[in-house]
Amino acid sequence: MRLQDPQSTVSFTFDGRRYRGVPGEPVAAALLAAGVRLVARSFKYHRPRGIMSAGSEEQNALVTVGRGPQAEPNVRATVLEVSEGLEVFSQNAWPSLKHDAMAVNDLMSPFLGAGFYYKTFMWPKPFWEKLYEPVIRRAAGLGGLSGKANQDRYEKAFAFCDVLIIGAGPAGLMAALTAGRAGADVILADEDTAMGGRLLREVEDVDGQPGPDWAAETIAALSAMDNVRLMTRTTVTGAYDQGTYGALERIAGLRRAGKPLECFWRIVAKRSILCAGALERPIAFPNNDRPGIMMASAVRSYVNRWGVAPGKAVTIFGNNDDAHRTARDLVAAGVKVAALVDCRDDVQVDGDFPVYTGAQVVATKGRRALERITISHAGGTRDIRTDCLAMSGGWNPTVHLTCQMNGRPTWQADIASFVPTPGNVPGMVTAGACNGAFSTAACLKEGAEVAAEVATGLGLKPKVTVPSADDSAYRISPLWAVPGQGRKWIDFQNDVHVKDIKLAAQENFRSVEHMKRYTTQGMAPDQGKSSNVVALAVLADATGRGIPETGTTTFRPPFVPVSIAAMGAGSQGKGFAPERLTTSHCASVARGAPMIEAGLWYRPSYFPQQGETHWRQSCDREVRYVRNAVGVCDVSTLGKIDIQGPGAAALLDFVYTNTFSTLKVGRTRYGLMLREDGHVMDDGTTARLGEQHYVMTTTTAAAAQVMRHLEFTLQVLRPDLNARIMSVTEQWAQFAVAGPRSRDLLNSVLDDQIVDADWPFMACGAVDVAGVQGRLFRISFSGEHAYELAVPARYGDSLFRLLTAQAESYGGGAYGMEALNVLRIEKGFTTHAEIHGRTTAFDIGMDRMISRKKDCIGRTAAARPGLIDDDREQLVGLKAVGAVKQLTAGAHLFAQDAAPERVNGQGYTTSVAYSPTLQTGLALGFLKRGSARHGEVLRMVDHLRQIEAMVEVCDPVFFDPEGGRARG
Amino acid sequence: MRYSGFRVIKEGFFGQKGWKPVWRDPDPKPEYDAVIIGGGGHGLATAYYLAKEHGLTNVAVLEKGYIGGGNVGRNTTIVRANYFLPGNSEFYSHSLKLWEGMEQDLNYNVMHSQRGLINLFHSDGQRDAFARRGNAMINQGDDAVLLDTDGVRKILPYLDFENGRFPIYGGLYHPRGGTARHDAVAWGYARGADQRGVDIIQNCEVTGIDIEGGVVKGVQTTRGAIKAKKVGIVVAGRSGQVAQMAGMRLPIESHVLQAFVTEGLKPIIDHVVSFGMGHFYISQSDKGGLVFGGDLDFYSSYAARGNLPMKEHVMDAAMTLMPMIGKARVLRSWGGIMDMTPDGSPIIDKTATDGLFIDCGWCYGGFKAVPGSGFSFAHLMATGRHHEPAAGFRLNRFRDGVGLMDEEGTGSQHNLH
Amino acid sequence: MRITCPNCGERDRREFYYQGDALALTRPAPDAGPHAWDDYLHNRDNPAGDTQDLWFHEAGCGAWIVVNRNTVTHAIDDTRLAATVKR
């Protein structure tokens, strides 16, 4: 029922029925105004549930918003803003909210107590996965995902400030005003749609004017300050190290064109002030979960802020003076107060309504909504007709953020609540209700004073002026659970009641963590915000301990649930990782090459030609280019590291197993690099361009790792060496030109002709290409006479086009990764398929490359007995010699007559190729004592692909073992 | 007391009054045949198998807080046997077999659900590496199926096959992989051990290990001295501190691993799915929450809480892989302390002190190992001989380089495994 | 987490790569023996409390940094360039 006619309304639907609401008010308010009581079903027993709170802590009224890919489950109707055309659906009910078949669970509840599932569903064994679990899964869960990929926009952002103030109630506003006036760079964040906190809910004066007016005036003053940023709809969700906070902003206006739905903020603050307020807690009494039973403060919110009466005859049940203001406000709004029930004996309440002191609610009635309650008091029991019960078990300070860094809160007996333990979060101080100061006057004062301290700490000179306000006392006498029959709900969301907690204690789940895990108390979407303190009070009682001794469970982020899409904003689709493109990318794509991922890079797989229907045809042709004519391949993705300085040679000697100080200027050498633990890290060639100038190449995969390793070596292990290193991977475009006609091709593009006498195998130096200074390396990863030609990246595209066009005129052309792989396998060259982090120089037959004349990284550890054991698996070549010619990578090797089982394993294959050159299937692999077993025939078994082949063990260099082609 | 559906119904009729404590809370005796330090999953399983397999019942489990309060109560609940290196293969295979009989053995429903696990791969190289793994699993007698893109699409239609940054080439499907209700595993073993006479002693912190002449004599605790002929250290997350009491320095660095759970949702993810191009693995609990995790926070820590960059990275991976879960909301995130070893594989071994044994270094794979670790550690403690499937988990393998089990191939940097 | 790079000032943790214990600064001699190398490569004090470890400002200036840090609270009380640390 609305208390005043609204100025304008919009229409929205709930479960298909149309309702009117005021734009911006919570859906919960609009539903209450329309007299809708039943809005949800509970998790386990599918009990009818209504609206309980007026904030993000809502336990019951969870709904799904929208449909299709836009559908968003588990939205709190208490924070969901009404807008035109909004579609809202109830959850966890079938076939309808009113008639929910699963409500049968409630009838079965005597058998479904805490943890019953640990004790049954074990027989017969296969039934768990086939029957019991699917039934349990279907019954569980709340809302459902659409199953469709997200289509909405979400964002992430960073912000920095001097002071982050969390919560904009009276304490937060005063804190912002004080810090802002002192000149601090302030962010004030509040999760509500409007700032003001309790001032928007309570009927109180501040500085002689109504609370909401004072709040509006203060917000206007803050808005006028350039050094203050105001963030509404922004919940600070987590406190992290060194003043970093996570915050979720719901962008105003649902799905407004072009705007993201949510933004996840990373806020870095020198200091923070928590002014998060307090949450009212329920009281456990029999059937305290019927629609119509709400928090007293929520009733005041709906009446005072939203102009909606949640009932026609409201009863108040509380254990503290604060609850009484509910009756006062209802009367002022013209809503009937059916009764005020206070469990305390010594209270004085004035009002034109029945007051029962020393009284408790002991029963409630009403199937889908509250109709009547029974109270017991000194005079016996009494039935009261009431459609709304406002309960207040007192207030829990919102200490959550102060406890996210492993700190625990402190029990304060006089308010029967936990309060923040100072210093729990470095840089964070607390003020107001979250600190246990419950009156508006105390909030204003603490906010101002705490902010002044913070500002002073930042070197500013704040002034403190505190407005006058209500300072009535909060007297409370703890009441957790009312004695008597019936289920007294504590965790409304997970359907945990008092008896569940007592059963947990009975079964020795006495630790608060055990109780939580056994009963699921506090594990629902609200994470026990409202219920945990009640639950542990009941546990304390059941175990005969005090509440502080019982302790709390661990507080964990986020404070309110955060959508995966918000925290993962920007990563959907390609955004997950950068895309690195070579200079030949466009030319390769234009030639129809499928581009495949190589780490973050994209490289051409092969270059199809007309008439080719299978990648193998293209690949074989490209291999023949290189073996018979000339091929061109972009190798720019290999890491290139420029190393300069008087210590450059010594640095290389230390990171490589072999020696580079003896390398002549103008020469290149293959180098093997170990990790300090003696295993191979990477390999590649390094060229000496000058006395103090080298260029190292790394594999594509290990480029970043090697760069880091070199810096580590230089700064941590050998700061005595005077050298500097720089990654130049992106500065140079580099192309392999490989094959018998490679020199001819180069001579067709270089400004000055090269001859073999000046450019022997492993030579390097400067060359000019069409007037551009480049670098030429006579190195080969194909086993052919080959070069790599590098030019500044801006010329890469032109050079690639030029080289490929020229290659075609020599009967060759571009080749891709597939051909490159075949060529290197034919030559027995390793990649990270072989040097996969577990192989040693010994394993790949390169132990002789570990110089004995000098120390190098990994040398000592490589000599550990286990790393040079003859029984180790060593690199071998494998040739198909049986009827089956197809070899597969990842297959295992066995003796011919041995069963393919682990105990008989001899090794495995790492890389395979069909060699068009040798016209057979080839594989590289590792075999126990492999280097001594050449000529042996083994069985290769690939269970997964159902392939078995006979293979002959041979040297890993299948083609041109003498290397004459590369040197010639 | 035996649990059954009949018993549940009976107790329902009588107001649940008949249920007894799942384990007793005895005071520590002055002396035991064996003392287990650490009442986590591994410690409780060790006690259970000492009693069940070796008849050793004069045993105490000493727990400084509440049982099951470490990583067994704080993980992503995945159970699998998909290792490929000798030493690991046979161990996890044995452990999975114990899982498959656990509920009947313990008479406790740990909800072990063999819903199948799919490791996705995103390049030819990854496919080959997973093929090697899958073949090793079959060699070991376990199950594995290599799926191509269409095969993955059939069982995981909700993945982003079209727009993802790293295309899905296929997956290695491990049908016997799955999940279990993690806390229940600790409680089930506690109950089983307790019923066989083991004393489970909570709130009893070990403060010292008594060693005389190279022989263990007992432990000092916050509840007094306890003599013991044998002592087993099973305190993953605190291994370094407890081992130090015996003068040991371990090949372990402690790191935080985070995990996440969303609000309850109707069934939507029916398997365990793991992304191959970033650490991200996910399943849906029987309660409906999506349970998922990622990589280590990367720096050594005992803080048991996670950092923001890793949270975001995990969500980033989720969004590129399965953007249909974008509107699921993360309800809770937590961090556990991992014993990271230099090869990513665990340690179950004797120590230089006679009668003192250690079980540690489970990195972030300890949950699925609970039964296997308990079984093998009990075997070692009871018989003095290494149990065959766990015989590779030796302390000296690092010094000597013999039998390293580096599944990731990342070498001796602890946080890279 | 925020780390103060001696070159660049306070930066977000995500700019840094973590390596491990700063004992890496004191690499044993090649002939120091298997135990010394085992201690260097594998064994760790791994304190629950103050520690000294090595970070690399990878997405920044490329400095290797020795960080004095508490593994329980994550408080950082000192950072220095590894290259300038006495060893």
Q: Tell me the pLDDT band of A253, cut-offs 50, 70 and 90.
A: low
Smallest CA–CA distance, residue B308 to chain A, in Å, is: 7
Q: Let me know: does A959 contact A781? Beta carbons within 8 Å.
A: no
- Chain-chain contact of B251 with C42 (C-beta, under 8 angstroms): yes
Task: Examine the pLDDT at C84 and tell me if it is beyond 70.
Answer: yes
Contact A241 C2 (CB under 8 A): yes
Pick from A677, A683, A638, A679: nearest CA to A656 = A683
User: B123 — contact with chain C (CB < 8 Å)?
Assistant: no
Is B398 in contact with C38 (Cβ distance < 8 A)? yes
Neighbours of C, requiring at least 3 CB pairs below 8 Å, are A, B
Whether C58 contacts chain A with CB within 8 A: yes
Q: What is the pLDDT of residues A20-75, one digit of tens each?
A: 999 999 999 999 999 999 999 999 999 999 999 999 999 999 999 999 999 999 99
Q: Does C83 touch chain A (CB under 8 A)?
A: yes
Contacts with C22 (C-beta within 8 Å, 6 or more apart), sequence order: C52, C53, C54, C66, C67, C82
Residue A254 has pLDDT above 60, yes or no: no
User: Looking at residue B20, what DSSP letter applies?
Assistant: P
Q: What is the distance between the alpha carbons of residues B126 and A743, in angstroms, rounded to a whole number? A: 36
Q: How confident is the model at residue A749 (pLDDT cuts 50, 70, 90)?
A: very high
Band the pLDDT of A629: cuts 50, 70, 90.
very high
Residue A488 has a pLDDT of 98
Q: Is B286 on the interface with A (CB under 8 A)?
A: yes
CA distances from residue A833 to A184, A506, B132, B406 in whole angstroms, order as listed: 56, 58, 11, 15
Six-digit token string for A480: 């957790």
Per-residue confidence band for A224, with pLDDT thresholds at 50, 70 and 90: very high
pLDDT in tens, A433-480: 999 999 999 999 999 999 999 999 999 999 999 999 999 889 999 999
Instruction: Domain of residue C9: give its range.
Output: 2-86
Q: A496 in contact with B at a CB cutoff of 8 Å?
A: no
Compute how many other C-beta atoms are within 10 angstroms of the C-beta atom of residue A208: 10
Which pLDDT score is estimated for B406? 98
pLDDT of residue A968: 86
- Best mutation target among C16, C23, C43 (most B Cβ atoms within 10 Å) is C43
Q: What is the pLDDT of residues A796-828, one digit of tens each?
A: 999 999 999 999 999 999 999 999 999 999 999
Q: Out of C2, C3, C41, whose CB is closest to A268? A: C2
Decide if pLDDT at A252 tops 80.
Answer: no
Judged by CB atoms closer than 8 Å, whether chains meet at B131 and A944 is answered as yes
CB contact under 8 A, C13 and B250: no
What is the enclosing helix (H) or strand (E) of B100?
Answer: helix B89-100
Given this model, what pLDDT does residue A962 score? 96
Q: Does B222 touch chain A (CB under 8 A)?
A: no
Q: Does any CB of chain C come closer than 8 Å to the CB of residue B253?
A: yes
* C-alpha distance from B398 to closest chain C C-alpha (Å): 7
Contact B329 A74 (CB under 8 A): yes
Of B112, B308, B410, the CB nearest to A240: B308
Write the CATH number for C80: 3.30.2270.10
Main-chain phi, psi angles of A493, to 5 degrees: -75, -40
| Overall number of domains in chain C | 1
Chain C residues in contact with B413 by the CB 8 A cut-off are 19-20
Q: Note whether B302 contacts C1, CB cutoff 8 Å.
A: no
pLDDT in tens, A127-174: 999 999 999 998 889 999 999 999 999 999 999 999 999 999 999 999
Q: Does C59 contact A at CB distance below 8 Å?
A: no
Instruction: Report the percent of chain A where pLDDT is more than 70.
Output: 99
| CA gap A211, A200 in Å, rounded | 7
Which tokens sit at A274?
């928590």
pTM over 0.95, yes/no: yes
pLDDT for position A598: 95
Render pLDDT for A90-99 as a digit per residue (tens, 0 to 9). 999 999 999 9
Q: How confident is the model at residue A240 (pLDDT cuts 50, 70, 90)?
A: very high
Kindly indicate whether the ipTM for this predicted assembly is greater than 0.90, answering yes or no. yes
Task: Choose the closest CB to C20 out of B241, B301, B414.
Answer: B414
DSSP string, B198-266: PEEE-S--EEEEEEETTEEEEEEETTEEEEEEEEEE--TTSHHHHHHTTT---S-EEEEEEEEEEPPB-
Give the H or E element holding residue A566.
Answer: helix A564-567
Q: How far is B338 from chain C (nearest CA, A)?
A: 12
Interchain contact C2–B (C-beta under 8 A): no
| Cis peptide leading into residue A124 (ω within 30°) | yes
Interface touch B302/C74, C-beta < 8 Å: no
Does residue B236 sit at the C interface (CB-CB below 8 Å)?
Answer: no
Say yes or no for a CB contact (<8 Å) between B329 and A562. Answer: yes
Which chain C residue has its CA at the smallest distance from A406's CA? C73
pLDDT at A773: 97
Q: Which domains does chain A have, with CATH numbers?
A: 154-279+397-457 (3.50.50.60), 282-393 (3.50.50.60), 479-545 (1.10.10), 580-637+731-824 (3.30.1360.120), 642-727 (3.30.70.1400), 870-967 (2.40.30.110)
- Cβ separation C82–A719 shorter than 8 A: yes
Tokens of A78: 């208490």
The model's pLDDT over A511-568, given as tens digits with 9 standing for 90+, comes to 999 999 999 999 999 999 999 999 999 999 999 999 999 999 999 999 999 999 999 9
> Are residues C34 and A864, on separate chains, in Cβ contact within 8 Å?
yes
CB contacts of A577 in chain B (<8 Å) are 165-166, 277-278
Q: Is B416 on the interface with A (CB under 8 A)?
A: no
Cβ pair C30:A855 closer than 8 A: yes
With beta carbons under 8 A apart, name residues in chain A contacting C17.
708
> What are A873-920's pLDDT values in tens digits?
999 999 999 999 999 999 999 999 999 999 999 999 999 999 999 999
Name chain C contacts of B340, Cβ cutoff 8 Å: none
* Length reported for chain A: 968
User: Which residues lie closer than 8 Å to B397 by C-beta, 6 or more apart?
Assistant: A866, B343, B403, B404, B405
Mutate to test the interface with A, among B83, B329, B415 (most CBs of A within 10 A): B329
User: Rounded to a whole number, what is the distance in Å from the CA of B165 to chain A's nearest CA?
Assistant: 4
The answer to whether the Cβ–Cβ distance between B135 and A147 falls below 8 Å is: no
Classify strands A336-342 and A313-318 as parallel, antiparallel or unpaired: parallel
Residue C41 touches chain A, beta carbons under 8 Å: yes
* pLDDT attached to residue A258: 78
Query: How far off is chain A from B212, nearest CA to CA, in Å?
Result: 33
C-beta separation of A42 from A102 below 8 A: no
Tens of pLDDT, residue by residue, chain B (417 residues): 899 999 999 999 999 999 999 999 999 999 999 999 999 999 999 999 999 999 999 999 999 999 999 999 999 999 999 999 999 999 999 999 999 999 999 999 999 999 999 999 999 999 999 999 999 999 999 999 999 999 999 999 999 999 999 999 999 999 999 999 999 999 999 999 999 999 999 999 999 999 999 999 999 999 999 999 999 999 999 999 999 999 999 999 999 999 999 999 999 999 999 999 988 999 999 999 999 999 999 999 999 999 999 999 999 999 999 999 999 999 999 999 999 999 999 999 999 999 999 999 999 999 999 999 999 999 999 999 999 999 999 999 999 999 999 999 999 999 999
Mean of the pLDDT values across residues A848-853?
Answer: 95
Distance from CA of C44 to the nearest CA of B (A): 6
Q: What is the pLDDT of residue B171?
A: 98
pLDDT at C35 over 90: yes
Nearest to B140 among A156, A556, A902 (CB): A902
Q: Tell whether the model's pLDDT for residue A255 goes beyond 60.
A: no
Q: Is the pLDDT of residue A203 over 80?
A: yes
Residue A256: predicted pLDDT: 62
Of B238, B253, B299, nearest to C44 by CB-CB distance is B253
Can you say how many angstroms the Cα of residue A378 is from the centroid of all Cα atoms in its chain? 56
pLDDT computed for residue A157 by the predictor: 98
The confidence score (pLDDT) of residue A350 equals 86
Provide the sign of the torsion angle of the four alpha carbons A103, A107, A113, A119, taken in this order.
negative
In whole angstroms, what is the distance from residue A615 CA to residue A622 CA?
A: 11
- Tell me which residue in C37, C43, C72 faces B250 most closely, judged by beta carbons: C43
Q: Of all helices (H) and strands (E), which one includes residue A388? A: strand A388-392
Q: Find all residues with CB under 8 Å of A33, minimum gap 6, and list them.
A: A1, A2, A21, A306, A308
- Mean pLDDT (chain A) is 97
pLDDT at A484 over 90: no
Is C34 in the A-facing interface, judged by CB distances under 8 Å?
yes
